[in-house]
Amino acid sequence: MYLHMISSRFAAITESQKRTSIAVEEKGRRSDLFGVNVFNQKKMLQYLTKDALESLKGAMVSGSKIDRKIADQVAEAIKGWAITMGATHYTHWFQPLTGSTAEKHDAFFDLLPDGTALEKFGGGQLVQQEPDASSFPSGGIRNTFEARGYTAWDPSSPAFIYGTTLCIPTIFVSYTGEALDNKAPLLRALSAVDDAATAVAKYFDKTVTKVNATLGWEQEYFLIDKALAYSRPDIMMTGRTLVGETPAKGQQLDDHYFGVIPSRVLSFMSDLEKECTKLGIPVKTRHNEVAPNQFELAPVFEEANLAIDHNLLLMDVMDKIADKHHFKVLFHEKPFAGINGSGKHNNWSLATDTGVNLLSPGSTPMKNLQFLTFFINTIKAVDTYEELLRSSIASAGNDYRLGANEAPPAIFSIFVGTQLSSVLDELEGVSKGKLSPEEKTELKLNVVGKIPEILMDNTDRNRTSPFAFTGNKFEMRGVGAKTNCAKPMTVLNTIVAKQLRDFKKEVDILIDKKSLKKDEAVFNVLREYIKTSKRIRFDGDGYSADWENEAKRRKLSNNRNTPEALEILTSKESIALFETMNVMSEVEISARQEVDLENYIMHVQIEGRVYNELVYGYIMPAALEYQNRLIKNVAGLKEIYGAAHKKFSEGQLTMIEEIAEHVVGIKKMVDAMADARKKANALKDTKKKADSYCNNVKPYFSEIRMHSDKLEKLMDNNLWPLTKYRELLFIE
């Protein structure tokens, strides 16, 4: 068995070195290929009646309901198109609280009473299905015996064909109406920010009737040869390496970042982009990331709901295309110790139906006052709810990433740059109440009017900032690579909606009761926001101990782990926020906290079990095998040289002792960890159980890893059974 494990490692290396690039046929322009597998507006014009088209557009833009007759027409049209594209099945494609997507395929097939077969797909099948709700995480909303749940069509995200299946994006709710997914709360949050932002935007442009939250995600990932990945049980079971000695060369030379893309990887990327283009995912940028074998893909900005659907679809497509090219994609936030982890930076902004980015300065003081209004309100929202925003990126995987190797820390702060900070400082000095003509001139010409010039050379970002302004958007950098963007985007859009609603109330009071002009009222309220949210602005190094101390002084939260971060979800303030904004009920919030805690427990639990398997099945047998060889060597020297053998075997004896020390240490740690797991498993309360796994089980992981990595360093390379970091990271 042991020899088989060693041979598996070297067989995987040999297999990976034989790989060559798979040719990808590239014909025509990408623009011609874009959206061919999507039932987009072009297809709607071709297949829908005028009434159906108008009704569907209304549902997409304003969320208006589609009646059954129209739904039947739309279903018939989509079915006709899908069948011509080779589709044989359809599915409601939804986002349960597992963090990924789910689907159940049904054929376009039915039998008439006379036994005649026909393709069938009506409005009922389009609008609603009933998957088993008890089989998905619900946080207690659904009992095991209460199986019914509903998926309901989301017309704002177009249907698409994936393989031979028509996929219909849907929400997922319980029989009693509570959201069992990530999409339903997101749609509510997007509606809330639309209402609030539109009302404020009308101060500056009366023609604005809708505001969309936009999102541009940046997906980081690692690509590992499939054979090498399969040779590591920890990668296959947990998505990351639980042990592994740091190689002599890592990312310190920065030679991988933006370097020439390896040929095999480039073929994978080309194939991936081709499939994404067909599915309407507007992929645009690809490059090597900082760590070896780490890469990034980014699309053009889209409306947030569609962007999130596209990101989830992308991750599934990536897995399939990677397998075709003999790769394994690692989305884990920290698959390798000592080098950069992977994030999914969420670039967020607000755009009006008149084509204006509300976080982009304009050519006039009025447009810049509009920019400042949304800019400062966003800062204020993040300051008020920074702990809640931190909770939205909490996960077992992201705990390993945050605060290490260029990832932002767990402390939320906002980077705006020194020049924009100076603008805010000047605005802070605006007089209370009515402004003098001189103040108005000073503000509009010398402060507000010059913002575009300031930003021209000030769009840099602080790489350690969790929330940075980058010229015309805010970049939320703490989101983990595996996270569904719907979670942070639901929170961000909800808190901004609440803040904008409060802002409008305050401005209207100053206009109506204090007889201030609109500009004066806006400046007065913004001035107070600048003062009260000053603590959240930080342009320095997020890694420094000085910043931790300063953040503590500023009373910013520093929730370093997931159980701590999730506690805020069920606070009175959080529940009031979500209920006031009609985004989630207390039941839905509590359910999500329960699901996230259970998910955390299961991830740490699985990692603990894999450690057991690695230590007893791989590491200790290898260490004892090598130790026995050394003992035989010493015994042989003693037989030849007698008492004089010590001067020849001193090195071997030292190594025997060191191996023994680490074998004893690793066995003690893994056994103690197993006992701690048993105690944690006995706890009934989910919060206490998660805390126990975090504080009593997980600390053993680093100790076990230390002993394992020391043994890997001591041992004969040919006897180490686990594929090494240098092989995983540098074989292309």
Six-digit token string for 502: 């409060």
In which domain, by residue range, is 160 found?
33-180
Establish if 18 belongs to a structural domain: no
pLDDT tens figures, 425-453 = 888 888 787 877 777 767 776 677 767 76
Report the length, in residues, of the chain.
Answer: 732
Establish if 382 belongs to a structural domain: yes
- Both 240 and 382 in one domain: the answer is yes
Kindly provide the b/e burial profile for residues 8-35, where b requires at least 16 CB atoms within 10 angstroms of the residue's own CB.
Answer: bbeebbebbeebeeeebeeeeeeeebbb
pLDDT tens figures, 472-496 = 999 999 999 999 999 999 999 999 9
Give the span between the Cα atoms of 626 and 621, in whole angstroms: 9
Domain count, the chain: 3
Establish if 499 belongs to a structural domain: yes
Look over the chain and give the mean of its residue pLDDT values, rounded to a whole number: 89
- Both 174 and 194 in one domain: the answer is no
SS3 of 331, please?
coil
Q: Where are the alpha helices (DSSP H) in 569-645?
A: 572-580, 586-614, 620-641
- Both 531 and 448 in one domain: the answer is yes
Kindly give the pairing relationship between strand 344-352 and strand 294-299.
unpaired
Boundary of a domain, candidates 180, 213, 239: 180
CB 492 within 8 A of CB 385: no
Establish if 6 belongs to a structural domain: no
Per-residue pLDDT band for 110 (boundaries 50, 70, 90) equals confident
Boundary of a domain, candidates 180, 211, 230: 180
SS3 of 108, please?
coil
Six-digit token string for 640: 């030849």
Give the span between the Cα atoms of 451 and 519, in whole angstroms: 17
Percent of the chain exceeding pLDDT 90 equals 61
Six-digit token string for 181: 């997914």
Kindly provide the b/e burial profile for residues 464-486, where b requires at least 16 CB atoms within 10 angstroms of the residue's own CB.
Answer: bbbbbbbebbbbbbbbbbbbbbb
- Both 561 and 607 in one domain: the answer is no
Name the β-bridge partners of 117: 111
Establish if 716 belongs to a structural domain: yes
Amino acid 391: pLDDT: 97
The larger pLDDT score, comparing residue 18 to residue 249, is at 18
Q: Which residues contact 88 (CB under 8 A, 6 or more apart)?
A: 107, 108, 164, 165
Would residue 326 be called left, alpha or beta, if left means φ above 0 and alpha means ψ between -120 and 50 degrees? left
Amino acid 32: pLDDT: 84
Six-digit token string for 449: 């009017």
Amino acid 695: pLDDT: 97
Boundary of a domain, candidates 160, 180, 200: 180
Give the span between the Cα atoms of 386 and 240, in whole angstroms: 29
- Both 295 and 197 in one domain: the answer is yes
- Both 235 and 103 in one domain: the answer is no
Q: Which residues contact 529 (CB under 8 A, 6 or more apart)?
A: 376, 377, 379, 380, 503
pLDDT tens figures, 244-283 = 998 876 666 656 676 788 889 999 999 999 999 999 999 9
Per-residue pLDDT band for 143 (boundaries 50, 70, 90) equals low
Amino acid 348: pLDDT: 98
- Both 345 and 469 in one domain: the answer is yes
Q: What's the first-to-final CA gap in the chain, in angstroms?
A: 29
Amino acid 478: pLDDT: 94
Query: Stretch 291-297: mean pLDDT, rounded?
Result: 92
Amino acid 251: pLDDT: 66
- Both 197 and 174 in one domain: the answer is no
Q: Is the pTM of this model over 0.85?
A: yes
> What is the crossing angle of helices 646-681 and 699-714, to 10°?
160
- Both 199 and 62 in one domain: the answer is no
Per-residue pLDDT band for 99 (boundaries 50, 70, 90) equals confident
Amino acid 697: pLDDT: 97
- Both 167 and 252 in one domain: the answer is no
Per-residue pLDDT band for 52 (boundaries 50, 70, 90) equals confident
Per-residue pLDDT band for 638 (boundaries 50, 70, 90) equals confident
- Both 155 and 218 in one domain: the answer is no
Percent of the chain exceeding pLDDT 70 equals 93
Query: Stretch 519-525: mean pLDDT, rounded?
Result: 91
Q: How many CA atoms lie within 13 A of 520 on its CB side?
A: 18
Whether 571 has a pLDDT exceeding 80, the answer reads: yes
CATH, residue 228: 3.30.590.10
Distance of CA 271 to the CA centre of its chain: 23
Query: Stretch 323-338: mean pLDDT, rounded?
Result: 95
- Both 545 and 652 in one domain: the answer is no
Per-residue pLDDT band for 186 (boundaries 50, 70, 90) equals very high
